[in-house]
Structure 1
Amino acid sequence: MTTAVREAPHHRNLTCYTDYSCRLPECKERYNAYRRDRRRAENEGTWQPFIDAKPVREHLLKLQAAGIGAHRVASLSGLPYQTVREFLHHSYGNRRSRRSRTTPETANKILAISAETTLPGFTSATATRRRIQALVATGWPMARLAPHLGVTPKHVWKITEQRYVYHHTARAVEDAYNRLRNKRPEKRGIARREANIARRRAAANHWPAPKYWDEYADLIGDPDFEPEYKKLRAEILAEEAAWLMTAGRLDREQAAVRLGVSLFTVDRALREHPQDGLQKAA
């Protein structure tokens, strides 16, 4: 009776040598290099074969949220799919729990993958989201924008909640924005009631209209720019005073001096527009 020799599934790491008795020259050299590095690190007191896997798992979850799944990570990192999957789930066919430790080499391969560089077909959704919201401000209901964007009504909502969108989606929204921004929805098949509901929704959320973005065209795609569109002066004053009193640790009188207004003005603004952060700090 002869025992079949198992063939290593790949020749990328030490398992082909240790588990499958592979003796290809390049695999033997990989194993010998590992032994030399280990011996040197042990002599120097820096040997750290395993590290906590939590940062790797958190990074994989972020990649997953951006649309990069375990199969794609395995392909990009050169790691077996099973290795990547075990950071997120229990192993197939047994009760072994998720990986709690891993080698620095494996961790570095996964942590080196980023959504920004891995998804060249994607771009930030900031400008796309703001263009859709601007059309809503002119009276276009989101669901009624779907035919102009070439997507389903449900997907229009999804676009506004994403951090990244495909380049072709961004272009489709920009094209529709340029076509519809000066068109009255009521003259394009949208009932007046629907259009007014859309406008009220945009006003309640302070979504700027296209004319606003004409003035700030270079900032429409900047996620760090916060438009203060149609906010009352008292509302803006309340936000600034609350920030000075929480982050700057100033009292009401000091905040009023910093803002160049009276204490009465600050108190009235805070009464009319109470701030959650200030209430929690108090």
Structure 2
Amino acid sequence: MSCGCGTGEAQGRGLCATHYAAFRSREIAYGRWNPRVPADAVRAHVEVMRAAGVNPNQLAKLAGVSQSGLSQIMAAGPDKQVAAWLEQAVLAVEVPGRAAEVTTDTALVPILGARRRFQALVASGYPAAQLARELGTGERSRTIRSLMGNRADKTGRVTQDITADRERAVKDLFDRLQLVPGPSAQARALGERRGWALPMEWDEAAIDDRNGCPEKARWTPASAREERREHVDELVRQGLTNDEIADRLGINTRLVERDRAHHRATPHTDPTGATAAESAARKPYSRGEVEAMGALAAQARVDIAARRQRGRGRGLERTR
């Protein structure tokens, strides 16, 4: 690697000897010169990132440091020291919620979150074949077998990683379909047999966490669905948030979001038969209109009474 000036081979901080000396003098003058620090913080951050699904090579790319150099730091003894700028570069890479958020398309990341999302969509009624088409792959592909939790390699083991671009595609698909039940009763039955959680039963913070668990909805019978939706609708009108409604009813916030989406998609009518939008748009009646309607109602009562009286008169004539 050469220095950015193009005049010499890079040394410390990617600078040639001349520019590195100038940088060193400037840092010393400002009291910031601290060329070597213990490697403990770097090592700890590497392990935290590894646990989050970002391996050391991927971390090195994100930090802009040498992969081999980072590997040597991890393999060295406890007294190892590193350049202060390298420590700062590595620690500047934040731990992601999902490894696929920060890695390149071809990098391998943990499959756990993608598998849970895929299985939840199947349990919601989407056949694996349909989801495979959405992802641009075949139903019997290694990717789909891995997402279903089936053995996907010759060793008979279940694959535990997936490429970052596939992981992101699965999440996008889940975000798009999670509130819309699928069409297949067979897929739902498969999900029930295998004990897969529904999309609404997964919390956003838990679905990618290896220790995360779904929250089974308290109201599962179909007969209780409408009653639950009425409760959700009433609490929404009271101004409660999704979290407050979920806590009040003992259900997952995803289920609250789903019920609210159903409520927004269903036309509601007032006692006159008008939709909510029509009722809102309707202007109040004027005093003249109210008086006219009252007179019309009074005349209708008179007419009804007259027809009843005529009917009774005809009955008397027939009995004579």
- TM-score normalized with structure 2 length: 0.41
Larger Rg: 2
- TM-score normalized with structure 1 length: 0.45
